[in-house]
Amino acid sequence: MHYAELGRLRSSDVPARGTLVALGGEAVPGKPSAAPKLQLLSPMELDRQTAYEGPTWIDQAVLAKWRPDPDVAGFGAELRSAFATRLRWLEKRQLVAPTDGADELFPKPDMMRSLRQFETQRLVASLRELPAAYVPHEVGTRINGIYERPIVTPTGRLALIRREDTFTLAPWKPALEPLRGRAVTGVVGPTRVTWTIDRARPARTVAGQC
């Protein structure tokens, strides 16, 4: 565990136990150092990411060609162990492979797409108790339904949106939380979904809790 002075944080900005964060800050010559800022890397504990059926922060780091410093002890050693375990897991699923005779494993072009498919299949199966069929969303479409709750994944959160007999999983935003149990509409863009209240539909009581 590491400690750093971060100044006063809002309760909503305090990371949950097990959250992976990075500390950053820009130093200005001739001025006192500013308090470091928290950057959320993943809301899921590191050890739960090594065999997760879906994309993880580790996978994103591998894709960005980032590796833990081999000379850093403590949490650095935990990172190296987690990366090695995850890479073995990816190799068994033929999502990474050595190139040009090198010992190091590199991601295949379809790694993240395959991982997203794994995650969607697993999440849909875990929600089979819902009396509703899963409907995927596509770029350029509009999502309408009741926002029920967030679903935490290693790379962020997904919003569970319900209609009468269908549901979809869409990118989550903090602005959705005050709208839990209410009708919302979302416009799917290439990199995000813009959410607003759907005033044409009534709210209802949400049965589930996060």
pLDDT in tens, 7-23: 555 554 555 666 776 76
Bridge partners (DSSP) of residue 107 are 96
Res. 50 pLDDT band, cuts 50 70 90: very high
Please tell me the predicted confidence (pLDDT) of residue 46.
94
Selection from 111-115, 188-192, 202-206 with the highest mean pLDDT: 111-115
32 is written with which tokens? Answer: 């006192």
Is residue 157's pLDDT more than 70?
A: yes
The CATH fold of domain 130-197:
OB fold (Dihydrolipoamide Acetyltransferase, E2P) (2.40.50)
**Three-state secondary structure string covering the chain:** CCCCCCCCCCHHHCCCCCCEEEEECCCCCCCCCCCCEEEEEECCCHHHCCCCCCCCHHHHHHHCCCCCCCCCCCHHHHHHHHHHHHHHHHHHCCCEEECCCCCCEEECCCHHHHHHHHHHHHHHHHCCCCCCEECCCCCCCEEEEEEEEEEEECCEEEEEEECCCEEEEEECCHHHHHHCCCEEEEEECCCCEEEEECCCCCCCCCCCCC
In whole numbers, what is the pLDDT of the chain averaged over residues? 84
Q: What is the domain partition of the chain in residue ranges?
A: 1-42, 44-126, 130-197
Is this structure's pTM higher than 0.75?
yes
Is residue 39's pLDDT more than 70?
A: yes
Residue length, the chain?
210
Please tell me the predicted confidence (pLDDT) of residue 17.
67
